[in-house]
Structure 1
């Protein structure tokens, strides 16, 4: 049922992301310098990069150095705070006053130019722009003015102090994190894949739930693998494989959608089906048209916000800091869903007389709240850190928290699956706890 309901929207989501979303870019930037663009925007914006250490480097290669000399072409760089201040007071500044606030100016007079950044005591974001002698000119630009092709590479110092690291400071370390994450997934697969497959293959009341959890976990592992491939290539050329970055985000989105559908439909199914549910099996997934409709509404809302966020922020991020409107709405949705699930589970727990069954619902609630609230909580907590630290905190924190959530739910439903298997052969009420006997039977 789950596959039938959810698979068509998922395929549509994948098709839309791959074919419509713009490609992401690394810090090897190629393009053309346009005098008209620089004049219209008081400088043609190129990119931003977080430099750190003593020997940050900018390498710029031009296709037509003679035209650049004739235009008096320059690259200018603003520190983050100066950039923000100049943007806030832009209306009160003349063009020349605005450009004079740049901390670094690089005259483009050679075919290849290397500029070493000043020593930085702590990581700082710099904004790079192109200007020339036409930028502050009020009269029309000569129509025969040529565009200048360029390639710019930005480097941070590596472990040896050489300017060879393509990663901006806010991404430094994520490459190694994804490697360790893939290694952890590989080890866990080697240990648990066979017994888990045997449990799913046997069927039973928890069969569908375990399939959905396994599917969500595979998507998370796929996202980690695609991110690692993208960053491994990025470390060599500063561009990476943008398609891999997009596929990583798609896998994460589908995983989020699957988990949302399962958690919502489980809770609503338990609530709506309590009066007609068999008392011998009160913890199964019991769907109804109403619970399915509510779950699908949540899924479609979250899917729409995720897609909207991708269009708003075309720079690839595993997990966004949510500074855009769709991002803030997505945080609000996750908090609202957590409150909804809390309300539903509270009703179930307060009406349940069995302490053992209440323990099941409480453990389920922990897994739910950890999945939904980790991202909003980490986004809020990241505000106390520097801007360049936030992406790493959110990315690493969310992946670890959601992995723990999946483990909690796995343990919970695997123990209940064993309970139903054994209790079907006995008239004696067996405990719903995950005893050592149950665990040894599963893992033997």
Structure 2
């Protein structure tokens, strides 16, 4: 697990890119000629009071080259089949760059619309490479939506609006829950007991989710002021969330596979003892490695987006992640059905049902929310999935916490036999570390 975490961290840090809606860069004449227009960025305006501001350090060469910004609504792939001049002529807005600062109001739309910004000049549609001697133009580009007062001062794109407030409320809920439950949880961990390892993994996973939310909040708080934020904090948020995901997956797979693979070798009086066998460990590690690889793959496939979110599921890696979680949920259902169907103890069946609720919520919330998001508008889908997955997984952790800490259920079940539940101390002492 530690090696996988280190690999995830290295991959994320190496893939950092400048992002945000206050962009600083270079207009390159040669790049515009080769690409039939240099792609600069894209931004989803919410429908009204949108504003684009472009500042040039040296407007003189820009005026000589007849430099201009071209704005396209939802750039159609069919435009690539047109000639260079025809393609550039399809732009809905043209912003000539001859002054130090240009302000362009975006026309009102009935709904949120993605606009793509390209750079072009008089040499863009020339076939011969005669522009290599031209120097690049330094620019600063700012893109705004309307804020709550109707003024174009909001750096957030339409698909990002509301995330800042969500993470604030999430952190507030974490803080309140921590103030209420930190002492009982600390005492339970200090005492040890049959479920000590499970509680430790759950606490670690929840803490990592809290760190992820904090990093996202810090990044978005800065982003709301300058449109750039802290890209490093955004990548750290993704990293902590991924480590939380793989930690929970390893724990759940280890429990379920340990129960199943050892079931045929144990007497019926002890059907739930977790055997740390090579087969169960291999299945758990294999699932974790597969999910980690898919998460990293998706991060690279979504590298063009300004805020990475593995919840978006707009790539092959995202679809494979959904398929993996559905498959794991079906595997879990098969495991628990076999055990519950032969279990005579009502207390143990209740334990399994509660455990199943928490696990199914963890595995299936993501695929279900992706399907449900189809009824929402394009700019709302990613927010619905992102917020919904975080909330559902937090609820899943709460359900598992209640199950493992409940005196009315857990302690009664565990008292039936010192080895009747997974992760018992007797097995932990003989089976090595988790």
Structure 1 length-normalised TM: 0.89
- What residue ranges of structure 1 are gaps of 5+ in the alignment? 1-5, 430-444
Instruction: Tell whether 2:359 aligns with 1:359.
Output: no
Of residues 42, 46, 51 in structure 2, which corresponds to 1:52? 46
Contact 1:14 1:250 in 2 (8 A): yes
Helix, strand or coil: the match of 1:122? coil
Paired residues for 1:61-100 under 5 Å: 61-80=55-74, 83-84=75-76, 87-91=77-81, 93-100=82-89
Of residues 84, 109, 130 in structure 2, which corresponds to 1:120? 109
Match of 2:4 in 1: 9
C-alpha offsets along residues 347-403 of structure 1, whole Å, 9 cap, x if unaligned? 111222223322211221111111111112212222232211111101111011111
Helix, strand or coil: the match of 2:172? helix
- Equivalent-residue separation in structure 2 for 1:116 and 1:89 (angstroms): 24
Aligned length: 415
Cα distance, 1:421 vs. partner?
A: 6.6
Match of 1:33 in 2: 27
Cα distance, 1:317 vs. partner?
A: 2.7
Paired residues for 1:38-437 under 5 Å: 38-80=32-74, 83-84=75-76, 87-91=77-81, 93-275=82-264, 283=272, 285-314=274-303, 315=305, 316-415=307-406, 417-419=410-412
C-alpha offsets along residues 184-241 of structure 1, whole Å, 9 cap, x if unaligned? 0000000001001111111111110010011100011111000000000000000000
Describe the shift of the 1:204–1:339 C-alpha distance in structure 2 as closer, same or farther (beyond 3 A): same
C-alpha offsets along residues 4-54 of structure 1, whole Å, 9 cap, x if unaligned? xx2232223223322x11225011111100111111111101111111243
Cα distance, 1:420 vs. partner?
A: 5.7
- Equivalent-residue separation in structure 2 for 1:39 and 1:172 (angstroms): 35
Q: Bigger shift: 196-205 or 358-367?
A: 358-367
- Equivalent-residue separation in structure 2 for 1:201 and 1:283 (angstroms): 25
RMSD of the alignment, in Å? 1.9
Match of 1:21 in 2: 15
Cα distance, 1:411 vs. partner?
A: 0.8
Contact 1:266 1:287 in 2 (8 A): no
C-alpha offsets along residues 297-316 of structure 1, whole Å, 9 cap, x if unaligned? 10111111111111221233
Cα distance, 1:281 vs. partner?
A: 6.5
Helix, strand or coil: the match of 1:273? helix
Contact 2:53 2:104 in 1 (8 A): yes
- Equivalent-residue separation in structure 2 for 1:189 and 1:393 (angstroms): 26
Cα distance, 1:135 vs. partner?
A: 1.1
- Equivalent-residue separation in structure 2 for 1:181 and 1:10 (angstroms): 25
Helix, strand or coil: the match of 2:46? strand
- What residue ranges of structure 2 are gaps of 5+ in the alignment? 421-434
Contact 2:246 2:291 in 1 (8 A): yes
Contact 1:206 1:285 in 2 (8 A): no
Q: Bigger shift: 198-207 or 230-239?
A: 198-207
- Equivalent-residue separation in structure 1 for 2:291 and 2:217 (angstroms): 26
Describe the shift of the 1:67–1:348 C-alpha distance in structure 2 as closer, same or farther (beyond 3 A): same
Q: Bigger shift: 410-419 or 254-263?
A: 410-419
Structure 2 length-normalised TM: 0.91
